[in-house]
């Protein structure tokens, strides 16, 4: 097992990794930017190293500084968390070539799944259902047009280097396709320095359901069930839950087995998530694979009773998975609300600043993963998430009720947060009945004009 782990991240996930290391009796090194000097991850880690000025490019994304910090502190492994360098294959390579274990999959797996057109081909060859579309990237707009003509409109053009909804363009007819193709290419080129795009049939109003996967170095690969992530806005998830209210046990077993088969095709190692879109009629399609621990991993932890971060560390250190597929048991229901420093009444605009008062809800089935405290200043440089509120119950109604109570209990003063949005969403009749798709937030905010005050 490792003696010392450096956490190449900040915020709640840095705390989450520190806690997992503590349980495993591994020493921890925090890294921090000048804007995060007073952050809890700095206080709770055994050691800390300042890695530069506030902008991520000068700190959390600055590979040479992270490696230097690992070298001077004598760490033997690096946990990337989510975001920042967590899906950067080059970073994984540099870690390994400098003698540090990267707590995640190999750089080769990150690279393969990072190219969404390659991921799609790989999973189709492994037998997973994929939306009809192009065989790899498109050469030009004429190829796009002839393909769209044969599969039928609407279609969606996606950046091969994209993912998470970035660099996508929907076309409902030939004219929109010809106009959108160049825009998609230009956007992809500007955002990812790679203008390769591919095409798929567009699925209207899908559900986003993702499966948690885990592989170890001994060739074991298991799935830990799914998370329903349809409640999102501008590709930012707001509420996640497990299990999905939409899936039957038989569907869970069959899609889970598919996901395992796909991950086995690339010999997948460590934690990964396979994202599927579900059609209104229950058909499902592989979309992409994320090669990191995700923000919403706690809902899976609550219903399986596992510690996914500890599992990541153990597997990276060469140990076997702590259980087999047959031993995975799902119990109850968990929901997560992302508490962001955002003013939802004004288009979810960022609301950084000092938190003057903070009261953390509690009671049976309530978990709060957060790095903030009264007096903490939310810096404007990073992601606006200040914490995750997770409610567990024996069934969905109990989890929902506990969430509703926790949202009434929580107090955050000094900044605006997404708490009022969550209160609205959780009480919505459609949400209560589980009737949610990726257009839920839009429909909710349209229907319910935000009350003054």
| Catalytic center residues | 292
- CA distance linking residue 431 with residue 191, whole number of Å: 34
Query: Both tokens of residue 131?
Result: 């939306």
DSSP H or E run through 29: strand 27-33
The residue (of 131 and 171) whose beta carbon lies closer to ligand MV4 is 131
What lies within 8 Å, CB to CB, of 192 at 6+ separation is: 159, 161, 162, 167
**C-beta of 451: minimal distance to ligand MV4 in Å?**
27
Contact 423, 337 (CB under 8 A): no
Which stretches of the chain bind ligand MV4, using CB under 6 A? 131, 156, 164-165, 200-203, 206, 208, 232, 235, 275, 277, 287-288, 438
The residue (of 208 and 223) whose beta carbon lies closer to ligand MV4 is 208
- CA distance linking residue 64 with residue 446, whole number of Å: 47
What lies within 8 Å, CB to CB, of 445 at 6+ separation is: none
Sign (positive or negative) of CA dihedral 339, 245, 440, 224: positive
The residue (of 91 and 202) whose beta carbon lies closer to ligand MV4 is 202
SS3 443: helix
How far does CA 146 lie from the centroid of its chain?
35
Helix intervals (H) in 126-171 = 141-151
SS3 388: strand
**C-beta of 197: minimal distance to ligand MV4 in Å?**
13
**C-beta of 163: minimal distance to ligand MV4 in Å?**
6
The residue (of 156 and 271) whose beta carbon lies closer to ligand MV4 is 156
* Rounded alpha-carbon distances, angstroms, from residue 403 to 146, 303, 306, 363, 368: 49, 15, 21, 11, 11
**C-beta of 237: minimal distance to ligand MV4 in Å?**
8
**C-beta of 289: minimal distance to ligand MV4 in Å?**
10
The residue (of 43 and 235) whose beta carbon lies closer to ligand MV4 is 235
The residue (of 19 and 439) whose beta carbon lies closer to ligand MV4 is 439
E-state strands within 279-410: 284-290, 333-340, 342-343, 349-350, 353-354, 357-359, 366-370, 377-378, 385-393
The residue (of 287 and 424) whose beta carbon lies closer to ligand MV4 is 287
The residue (of 206 and 256) whose beta carbon lies closer to ligand MV4 is 206
Which CB contacts under 8 angstroms, 24+ apart, belong to 33-40?
Answer: 33/58, 33/59, 33/60, 33/381, 34/59, 35/379, 35/381, 35/382, 36/10, 36/379, 38/376, 38/377, 39/10, 39/11, 39/14, 39/371, 39/376, 40/15, 40/371, 40/372, 40/373, 40/376
The DSSP code for 437 is -
What lies within 8 Å, CB to CB, of 98 at 6+ separation is: 67, 70, 71
Query: Both tokens of residue 329?
Result: 């048991």
- CA distance linking residue 446 with residue 281, whole number of Å: 25
**C-beta of 116: minimal distance to ligand MV4 in Å?**
8
- CA distance linking residue 400 with residue 78, whole number of Å: 36
**C-beta of 327: minimal distance to ligand MV4 in Å?**
31
The residue (of 156 and 255) whose beta carbon lies closer to ligand MV4 is 156
**C-beta of 258: minimal distance to ligand MV4 in Å?**
17
Query: Both tokens of residue 265?
Result: 């095709």
- CA distance linking residue 427 with residue 43, whole number of Å: 38
**C-beta of 84: minimal distance to ligand MV4 in Å?**
19
């Amino acid at each position: 097992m490792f003696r010392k782990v450096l956490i190449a991240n900040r915020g709640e996930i840095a705390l989450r990794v520190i806690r997992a290391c503590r349980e495993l009796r591994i020493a921890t090194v925090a890294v921090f930017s000048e804007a995060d000097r007073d952050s809890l991850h700095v206080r709770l880690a055994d050691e800390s190293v300042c890695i530069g000025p506030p902008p991520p490019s000068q700190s959390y994304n600055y590979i040479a500084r992270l490696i230097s910090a690992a070298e001077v502190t004598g760490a033997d492994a690096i946990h990337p968390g989510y975001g920042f360098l967590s899906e950067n294959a080059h970073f994984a390579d540099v870690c390994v070539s400098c003698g540090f274990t990267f707590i995640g999959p190999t750089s080769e797996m990150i690279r393969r799944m990072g190219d969404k057109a390659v991921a799609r081909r790989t999973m189709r060859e492994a037998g997973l259902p994929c939306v009809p579309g192009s065989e790899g990237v498109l050469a030009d707009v004429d190829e796009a047009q002839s393909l769209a003509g044969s599969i039928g409109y609407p279609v969606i053009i996606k950046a091969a280097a994209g993912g998470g909804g970035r660099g996508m363009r929907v076309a409902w007819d030939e004219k929109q396709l010809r106009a959108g193709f160049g825009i998609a290419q230009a956007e992809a080129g500007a955002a990812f320095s790679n203008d390769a795009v591919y095409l798929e049939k567009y699925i209207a109003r899908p559900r986003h359901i993702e499966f948690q996967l885990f592989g170890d170095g001994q060739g074991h690969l298991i799935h830990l069930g799914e998370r329903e992530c349809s409640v999102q806005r501008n590709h930012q998830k707001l509420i996640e839950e497990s299990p999905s209210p939409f899936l039957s046990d038989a569907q869970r077993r069959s899609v889970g087995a598919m996901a395992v088969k796909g991950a086995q095709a690339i010999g997948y190692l460590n934690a990964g998530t396979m994202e599927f879109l579900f059609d209104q009629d229950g058909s499902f399609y592989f979309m992409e694979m994320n090669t990191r621990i995700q923000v919403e991993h706690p809902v899976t932890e609550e219903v399986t009773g596992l510690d996914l971060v500890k599992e990541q560390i153990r597997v990276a250190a060469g140990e076997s998975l702590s259980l087999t597929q047959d031993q995975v048991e799902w119990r109850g229901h968990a929901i997560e609300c992302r508490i962001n420093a955002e003013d939802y009444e004004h288009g979810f605009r960022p609301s950084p600043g000092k938190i003057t008062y903070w009261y953390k809800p509690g009671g049976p089935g309530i978990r709060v993963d957060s790095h903030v405290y009264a007096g903490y200043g939310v810096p404007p440089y990073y992601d606006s998430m200040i914490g995750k509120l997770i409610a567990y119950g024996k069934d969905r109604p109990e989890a929902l009720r506990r969430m509703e109570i926790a949202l009434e209990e929580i107090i955050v003063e000094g900044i605006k947060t997404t708490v009022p949005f969550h209160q609205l969403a959780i009480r919505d009749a459609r949400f209560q009945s589980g009737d949610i798709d990726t257009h839920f937030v839009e429909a909710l905010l349209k229907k319910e004009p935000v009350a003054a005050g």
